[in-house]
C-alpha cells in the first residue's frame, strides 16, 4: 500500500487546483466501478451499482477529499520575493524555512521579515517565498498561482509521514476498499473524491446535493491526544481507526455509529471513539444536503495535522479499509 500512498501524498493539489491529483486517482478506480464522472466543481464521482435484483437499494455516498492546504501568491516585490495568502488552515509556526512547490515545478523557500523577539511568531503576512528571482520582471511565478508544501513521503516502520495525509490517506482508504469489495453489493455506492474541503467542504456539498444520498460516510484524518501536552482526547496513533461521534461541525447519526461499532466488533477490527473539539469534515456537508442524510465518519488518527509532516500509522489505515468494507457489504438497517 505504501506505493499508492506515496503516489498520492507527493502529488500536487491545493484546494481549487485538484486537476492533477484527480487524473492520478481516476484510472485507479475506473476498473472497480460502473461509471466515473467529473461534476462542475471538479469532484470525481465513481459509481458502483447495486447487484441485480436489489429492490430500492440505499444510496450510500463515501467522500474523501483530494485537496490539501497550500498558499497563493498575492503580491510580488520589486526584488522578486512573493508575498502570499493561505489556502485552508496554514499555521504560521510551521512556515519558516519550509519549502513550497508550484504546479510547474518551481520550488520556493519560505522566509520571514526580521523579528527581534525570537520567541515570537510572525503572522502569514510577514512571510515571503524566495524562488531565486532578482526582480519582479524575472520572477517565474505570477500573482494568483498556488503552491503546496514540499516534503517527500517517508515510511518509518508503521509510521508514515508526508505533507498531505489530510486527506490523501482517506483517498487511499476509499481506493483500497473499492479493490476489496465483493461484486454482490446491496447498495448503490457513490465514491466521491471531493474538492475544496479545506476551504469549506464545498465540493462535498455540491456532490451530495446532486446525489441525495440516504447514508453518507466521510473518510478523513483526526487529531490524536498521545503527544506531549496534547489537548486531552481519547484517540491514539496505532490504536485503530476512529469512529466519529462528534466534531465542531456535526454530530454523527447514533444509529450509524452503532452500526460501525457492531461491524468492527463482528470483524475483529480494533477501533476508537472520536470526539473532536475543533474542525469538521465532508460529513457535515453531506448530512445537511437536500433533505439531509444519515451521516458519519471513519477517521484515521494523524499527528501534526496541517503541517508538512502529517503522520499516520499503517495499521490504522488498514483497519479503516477493513471497517469500510465491512460496513458497505452488510445491511444498512440503523
Mean pLDDT, the chain, rounded, equals 96
In this prediction, residue 330 has a pLDDT band, given cuts at 50, 70 and 90, of confident
Closest by Cα among 210, 237, 228, 220 to 283: 220
The residue-averaged pLDDT of 12-38 equals 97
Extract the C-alpha cell encoding 220.
478523513
Both 203 and 85 in one domain: the answer is: no
Both 63 and 206 in one domain: the answer is: yes
Asked if 197 is an active-site residue, the reply is yes
Could you tell me if residue 321 is inside a domain? yes
Both 202 and 325 in one domain: the answer is: yes
Both 117 and 169 in one domain: the answer is: no
Extract the C-alpha cell encoding 218.
466521510
Cell 484510472 locates to: 27
Could you tell me if residue 23 is inside a domain? yes
pLDDT at 53: 63
Could you tell me if residue 84 is inside a domain? yes
> Residues 134, 79: contact at Cβ < 8 Å?
yes
Which domain CATH number covers 185? 3.40.630.10
Domain that holds residue 59: 2-68+163-329
CB atoms closer than 10 angstroms to residue 211: 24
Q: What is the 3-state secondary structure (H, E, C) of 227-284?
A: CCCCCCCCCCCCCCCEEEEECCCCECCHHHHHHHHHHHHHHCCCCEEEECCCCCCHHH
The residue-averaged pLDDT of 97-126 equals 92
On the question of a cis peptide bond just before residue 167, with omega within 30 degrees of 0, the verdict is: yes
Could you tell me if residue 154 is inside a domain? no
Strand partners, 159: 156, 313
Both 62 and 85 in one domain: the answer is: no
Both 63 and 88 in one domain: the answer is: no
Both 175 and 272 in one domain: the answer is: yes
pLDDT at 334: 80
Q: Of 18, 176, 197, 274, which one is the catalytic site residue?
A: 197
Both 187 and 253 in one domain: the answer is: yes
> Residues 81, 128: contact at Cβ < 8 Å?
yes
Both 197 and 58 in one domain: the answer is: yes
| Number of domains forming the structure of the chain | 2
Which domain CATH number covers 130? 2.40.30.40
For the chain, report the end-to-end CA distance as a whole number of angstroms: 32
Last residue of a domain, one of 149, 177, 202: 149
> Residues 225, 292: contact at Cβ < 8 Å?
no
Could you tell me if residue 13 is inside a domain? yes
Both 49 and 60 in one domain: the answer is: yes
- CA 231 – CA 244 distance, rounded (Å): 17
Cell 485552508 locates to: 88
Question: Rounded to two decimals, what is the model's pTM?
Answer: 0.95
Could you tell me if residue 194 is inside a domain? yes
User: What phi and psi values does residue 23 have, to the nearest 5 degrees?
Assistant: -70, -20
Both 128 and 217 in one domain: the answer is: no
In this prediction, residue 322 has a pLDDT band, given cuts at 50, 70 and 90, of very high
Both 98 and 186 in one domain: the answer is: no
Asked whether residue 37 carries a pLDDT value surpassing 70, the answer given is yes
CA distances, 29 to each of 47, 180, 196, 229 (Å): 10, 12, 20, 40
User: pLDDT tens digits for 142-156?
Assistant: 999 999 999 999 999
Which residues have a Cβ under 8 Å from the Cβ of 231 and sit 6 or more positions away? 223, 225, 277
CB atoms closer than 10 angstroms to residue 78: 8
Could you tell me if residue 157 is inside a domain? no
Closest by Cα among 287, 310, 283, 285 to 299: 283
In this prediction, residue 159 has a pLDDT band, given cuts at 50, 70 and 90, of very high
pLDDT at 117: 84
Closest by Cα among 129, 108, 112 to 121: 112
Amino acid at each position: 500500500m505504501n506505493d499508492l500512498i506515496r503516489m498520492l501524498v507527493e502529488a500536487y493539489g491545493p484546494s481549487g487546483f485538484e486537476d492533477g491529483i484527480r487524473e492520478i486517482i481516476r484510472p485507479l478506480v475506473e476498473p472497480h466501478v460502473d461509471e466515473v464522472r467529473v461534476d462542475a466543481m471538479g469532484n470525481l464521482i465513481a459509481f458502483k451499482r447495486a447487484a441485480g435484483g436489489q429492490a430500492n437499494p440505499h444510496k450510500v455516498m463515501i467522500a474523501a477529499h483530494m485537496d490539501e492546504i497550500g498558499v497563493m501568491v498575492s503580491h510580488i516585490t520589486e526584488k522578486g520575493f512573493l508575498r502570499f495568502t493561505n489556502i485552508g488552515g496554514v499555521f504560521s509556526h510551521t512556515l519558516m524555512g519550509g519549502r513550497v512547490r508550484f504546479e510547474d515545478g518551481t520550488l520556493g523557500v519560505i522566509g520571514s521579515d526580521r523579528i527581534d523577539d525570537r520567541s515570537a511568531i510572525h503572522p502569514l503576512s510577514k512571510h515571503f517565498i524566495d524562488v531565486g528571482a532578482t526582480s519582479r520582471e524575472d520572477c517565474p511565478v505570477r500573482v494568483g498561482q498556488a503552491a503546496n508544501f514540499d516534503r517527500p513521503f517517508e515510511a518509518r516502520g508503521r509510521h508514515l509521514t508526508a505533507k498531505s495525509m489530510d486527506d490523501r490517506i482517506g483517498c487511499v482508504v476509499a481506493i483500497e476498499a473499492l479493490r476489496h469489495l465483493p461484486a454482490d453489493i446491496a447498495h448503490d455506492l457513490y465514491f466521491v473524491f471531493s474538492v475544496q474541503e479545506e476551504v469549506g467542504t464545498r465540493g462535498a456539498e455540491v456532490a451530495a446535493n446532486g446525489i441525495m444520498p440516504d447514508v453518507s460516510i466521510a473518510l478523513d484524518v483526526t487529531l490524536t491526544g498521545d503527544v506531549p501536552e496534547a489537548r486531552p482526547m481519547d484517540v491514539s496513533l496505532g490504536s485503530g481507526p476512529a469512529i466519529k461521534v462528534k466534531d465542531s461541525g456535526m454530530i454523527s447519526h447514533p444509529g450509524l455509529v452503532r452500526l460501525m461499532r457492531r461491524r468492527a466488533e463482528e470483524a475483529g477490527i480494533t477501533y476508537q471513539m472520536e470526539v473532536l473539539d475543533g474542525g469538521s469534515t465532508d460529513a457535515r456537508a453531506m448530512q445537511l444536503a437536500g433533505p439531509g442524510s444519515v451521516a458519519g465518519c471513519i477517521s484515521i488518527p494523524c499527528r501534526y495535522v496541517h503541517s508538512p509532516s502529517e503522520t499516520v500509522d499503517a495499521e490504522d489505515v488498514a483497519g479503516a479499509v477493513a471497517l469500510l468494507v465491512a460496513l458497505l457489504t452488510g445491511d444498512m438497517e440503523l
